[in-house]
Structure 1
Amino acid sequence: MTTAVKRVLIVGAGIGGLGASAALGQRGIQVDVIDIKAENAVLGVGLNQPANALRALRALGVFDEIAADGFAFDRRLHRDSQGNLRVEVPSLLGGDVPANIALRRSSLHRILTGAADRAGAKIIMNCSIADLSSDPDGVDVSFTDGRSDRYDLVVGFDGLRSRLRRRLFGDSFEPKFTGYSVWRLSCPRLATIDCINLYEGENGKAGLCPLDDEQMYLLHVTQEPGNPRYDPANFPQMLIDRMQGFGAEPGIVRDAITETTPIVYSPLEEVLVPTPWHRGRVAIAGDAAHASTPHLTQGAAMALEDAVVLAETLNRPVPVEDALTQWSARRMPRAQFVYERSRTRLLNEMVNDKQSNSASLAQINTDRMAEIDRFLNQPA
């Protein structure tokens, strides 16, 4: 006997929502997915999937597709602004899977959409919740497209600006701006970029990460006091200006930027909602419940783990609300660990540490990443 969950509504067709749709559908649960966007497509550049994310993707049956599309690596290199190596930090993640596989954001979306489709999920775009009411046996939902339906469970993977979070918790847990933002763009991969390379500049950190044999992406983290909103038309020149101090590979990428280069600008914001992450039979997950800075490349991993663990927990003979309580209690230690360590790493990386010698810097970075890797290598 399993929990009495036969029909589930997932809000948000992003990484976590599609992952949950696949995980639940593979267990025979009927899943509807709604998303406020008009088209089932994504913006973004690329992202790294560390070993714990790869284990979740393997549980969804898509690891081979990820491995075929992406670029595997097992270390990160810390350099100065001119490309001189300061520290090489090996990854302790992996074992049964690679330590990291980075890939294009569009590739991950396509693969997860395929997994959801194969599991029988119905994806409905340009649709959101107009109203809902939860009772002990289910949730009645009315939609903005005029339909109404009833579900055993509603789960919001609807992101940092989650409407479902506000509906459940009010405005008590709004995202907080860290004071920093990240600029990203994709570009042809340079032969020297075969793992994550981080470059320490005077006013921020740049990074390069391979996505496949042909592409890589650039990131540049900068301090942006007051969380300003900029005109996207000005992004190319603004990024060029901010990267003036860089040579080596970041300088090559900077010098190739034109006024038509697509650039993604994202303020770095955080949120961590205390458990339990549900009210009645309505729950939130992924970035809606816990969002961190991207410095451990764990955003997608945490959402995918949420999805897989949720499906596993609902597949047990306990009442639905008890299952939801157990699920968020199991997930909270990892979510909080990533939240805290990501913020610490952001602040550490934004210090231009010219005084530390290479040996001491190597030891500090190796020790910090070893602690993180050992924790995240544990079962989700």
Structure 2
Amino acid sequence: MAALIQSALVVGGGFSGMSAAIELRKRGIAVDLVEIDPHWRNYGAGISIGGPTLRAFRTLGILERFLDEGYACDGLDIFSPEGVLLTQVPTPRIAGDEVPGSGAVMRPVLAKILADATRASGTDVRLGCTVSALEQDADGVTVDFSDGSRGRYDLLIGADGLYSGLRERLLPDAPKPRYSGQGVWRAVLPRPASVTRTMLWVGNHLKIGLNPVSRDEMYLFVNEDRPVNDLVPPEEFLTRLKALLDPFTAPEVRNARAMLDEHSLVIFRPLEGLLVEQPWYRGRTVLIGDAVHATTPHLASGACIGIEDAIVLAEELENASSLTAALESFQQRRWERCRLVVENSMRLGEIEINGGDKAEHMRIMHASFAALAQPI
């Protein structure tokens, strides 16, 4: 069946926006993508990748390149601060029998993979540009751009992130991003041969992880309870991160601490979340990704559910009988899955902050991964 629309504007060149452009172009839809950053940068160290994300990569057509430039593995090990194994969490091979169930990649590497695929799809990418005004009618959306130009489209897709300007315009009563009470530290380090899959060490008010991101590198991440979301001066990042690792005596953590230096790309950010009640669309404008369901990283699924949004939206535009029906079906397919990720991730953080029931923590992780393994 022919798609319901002939043209679309994607606002935001992050993972969700690029994925939407790729999937719409597969269906013959003309796509413009605008990204406000003139350099199309993606900040950060590593990003953990689960089996559902790998399945989405296969749909997008980037799985082989990810497997070549990132790192894929099976399973997750959780330890005490001293290195005693507490539990092992399986990661089913849901992207195919030959594809490991999880992995990780450097964020800029994944961004480059998706950017290359976006350009190769025939999407018209415009950098240093965003929407300054829009007007909708029954037949389309007229857009004024920040560079002074104007365009008209059948559909506008807002993928402009946690602090979405389009959300503010379309859904002024939507909730604001909520600070979770935790912050995350990340750094990039050489990968020892002993680190072959994700490893977590869980202490009081602190969780440390190591995850391979390539054949030669891994990233270190530390979730820290921080009751107050105060500013951390960048010049203190390295010293503070090393101090956080001091109480952990597990050999792998001690080794990671010893390798930290000014070349480790240490970064810090507060963890925030957001879940917007439906509807996620108004007329011919729809929001996807972090603009409507931003999550903390406890289930390593934030990028996944945003990319899945793009895939499902494109499918519904291809198969539904009307645009309204497509957007309604998109919402119905996405709500429970996105709610689960946002709310369960928040709950995992609460348990860590409050020193809560570790058995509940494990149950939530196992149940969440099982649910996410289901078809989208």
Q: TM-score range by the shorter chain?
A: over 0.9
Superposed displacement of residue 93, structure 1: 5.1
1:340-355 correspondence runs (5 A)? 340-350=343-353
2:174 counterpart residue number: 172
Counterpart Cα distance in 2 of 1:364 and 1:172: 30
Instruction: Give the distance between the partners of 2:360 and 2:270, measured in 1 at CA.
Output: 28
User: Is residue 263 from structure 1 mapped to residue 266 from structure 2 by the alignment?
Assistant: yes
CA distance, structure 2, for counterparts of residue 334 and residue 111 of structure 1? 26
Residue correspondence of structure 1 range 285-324 to structure 2 within 5 A: 285-324=288-327
Corresponding residue SS for 1:87: strand
Aligned residues of 1:3 and 1:319 also touching (Cα < 8 A): no
Please report the RMSD computed on the Cα atoms of aligned residues, expressed in angstroms.
1.9
Partners of 2:267 and 2:95 in 1: CA distance? 34
CA contact (8 A) 2:50 2:101 kept: yes
- Structure 2 equivalent of residue 68 of structure 1: 68
Distance 1:366 1:346, change over 3 A: closer
For the residues of structure 2 that align with 1:126 and 1:278, how far apart are their CA atoms? 25
Asked if the contact 1:12–1:35 (Cα under 8 Å) also holds between the matched residues in 2, the reply is yes
Conserved in 1, the CA contact under 8 Å of 2:248 and 2:254?
A: yes
Preserved contact between residue 16 and residue 307 of structure 2 (Cα < 8 Å):
yes
- Aligned: 1:14 with 2:10: no
TM-score by structure 2 length? 0.94
CA distance in 1: counterparts of 2:117 and 2:45, whole angstroms: 21
Asked if the contact 2:51/2:91 (under 8 Å) is kept, the reply is no
Counterparts of 1:238 and 1:370, CA distance in 2: 32
Tell which deviates more after alignment, 92-101 or 59-68. 92-101
Task: Determine the C-alpha separation between the residues in 2 that align with 1:108 and 1:42.
Answer: 9
* TM-score of the pair, normalised by structure 1: 0.93
> Shift in Å at residue 157 of structure 1?
0.9
| Counterpart Cα distance in 1 of 2:226 and 2:361 | 26
Q: CA deviation at 1:98?
A: 2.5
Q: Deviations over 1:9-31 (max 9, x none)?
A: 11111111111110001111111
Aligned to 1:373: 369
2:19/2:311 contact within 8 Å kept: yes
1 CA distance for matches of 2:260 and 2:200? Answer: 19
The answer to whether the 8 Å contact 2:205/2:352 transfers is no
Gaps of 5+ in 2: none
Pair 1:188 & 2:190 matched = yes
Contact 2:184 2:223 in 1 (8 A): yes
The one-letter code matched in structure 2 to 1:306 is: D
Overall identity of the aligned pairs, in %: 35
Contact 1:201 1:352 in 2 (8 A): no
- The one of 125, 149, 152 equivalent to 1:150 is 152
- The CA deviation at 1:352 is 5.2
1:338 and 2:328 correspond: no
Distance 2:218 2:266 in 1: 14
**Number of residue pairs the alignment of both structures matches:** 373
Distance 1:377 1:202 in 2: 30
CA distance in 1, matches of 2:10, 2:113: 18
> Hey, which bits of structure 1, 4+ residues long, moved more than 4 A?
350-353, 363-367
Q: How far is 1:291 from its partner?
A: 0.8
**Superposed CA offset, 1:316-370 (max 9, x none):** 24221221121012100100011121112223344657xx9xxxx6x76664443
Contact 2:45–2:219 (Cα < 8 Å) also in 1: yes
Contact 1:76–1:195, Cα closer than 8 Å, also in 2: yes
